Amino acid sequence: MPMSSASRHHLLAAALALVTLAPATLSLAQPTRACSGTVYLSFDTGSQSQAEYIAQTLRRHHIKATFFMANEKTVNGDYTLDPSWAPFWKALVADGHAFGSHTFDHVYAKRDLADGKIEVKPQFGANGGKLLAWTPQQYCDELNRVDQRFQTLTGKHIDRFWRTPGGHLTPHTLAAGEACGYKHVAWAAAGFSGDELPSDKWPNQLLLERTLKNLKDGDIVMAHLGIWSRKDPWAPAVLEPLISGLEKKGFCFATLRDHPAYKGDLKGPVAEVKAGKGRAS
């Protein structure tokens, strides 16, 4: 029985729709391969000069990372948790990344005090540059401020991770974070990217070679979304070849939600995860 012109039209339309959809469907498929180990990329906020490049690079490689956020001044003249950055954070949420607190005002813990308080020095906010004596509850409230702002910007809560600015971790700050349900996350010695070190003494090629050589299964890598002081930015020169080099070695990538030390019931820090060596902003 001959096919009607209407039927032929419908079949042609369906075929064209399949052809049109096929490339989009294929582009969403993530490559699957056997892993010789897993590396956990993490990024702290900073000047944000490299933020969009880092996000695009992770997206291109189908990599999920963990972002630790503080409300820091950016190269745009605003702050990282201002409403102007909501589209950026929403896009990262949609990409499936994990998020933690880096204290809202990028608060340095200076020392524990005898009365149970913590001497701190916020870098930003109303008390920026001042030495303050905080109770553990005040420190906990500072961690939670990030979650509150992130929820306002994205509609999502952060994960129960936190990282102390500068790597300055004290017994009282560790206990304060644990008491309010956060696990502290440092980084592996081999995972210290060095992106905040002077680029004349620590060129990007040296940092890349050192990191590629020394990273091993389970290591956490720490870098920033931009560093004010480094003249030769780390990310454009190092991130892509670092990822490609690790992939060639058979490594896969995951967020800290899947790290053996942090996944599951978050009740507090684990003893074997200690503050990372080296400087950190």
Burial class from Cβ neighbours inside 10 Å (0-12, 13-18, 19+) for residue 20 reads: exposed
Give the Cα separation of 7 and 204 in Å (integer): 62
Q: Which domains does the chain have, with CATH numbers?
A: 34-102+148-172+181-258 (3.20.20.370)
Residue 178 clears pLDDT 60, i.e. is over it: yes
H-helix or E-strand spanning residue 161: strand 161-162
Contact 146, 102 (CB under 8 A): yes
pLDDT in tens, 1-11: 444 444 444 44
User: How confident is the model at residue 128, as a pLDDT?
Assistant: 97
For residues 15-39, average pLDDT: 53
**How many CB atoms sit inside 10 A of residue 229's CB?**
10
| Percentage of residues of the chain with pLDDT beyond 70 | 82
pLDDT at position 12, please? Answer: 39
Average pLDDT over residues 173-180: 96
Residue 263 scores a pLDDT above 70: yes
pLDDT beyond 70 at 260: yes
**Token representation of residue 203:** 């060129």
Asked if residue 108 lies in contact with residue 171, where contact means CB atoms within 8 angstroms, the answer is no
pLDDT at 15: 39
Q: What's the pLDDT at 28?
A: 35
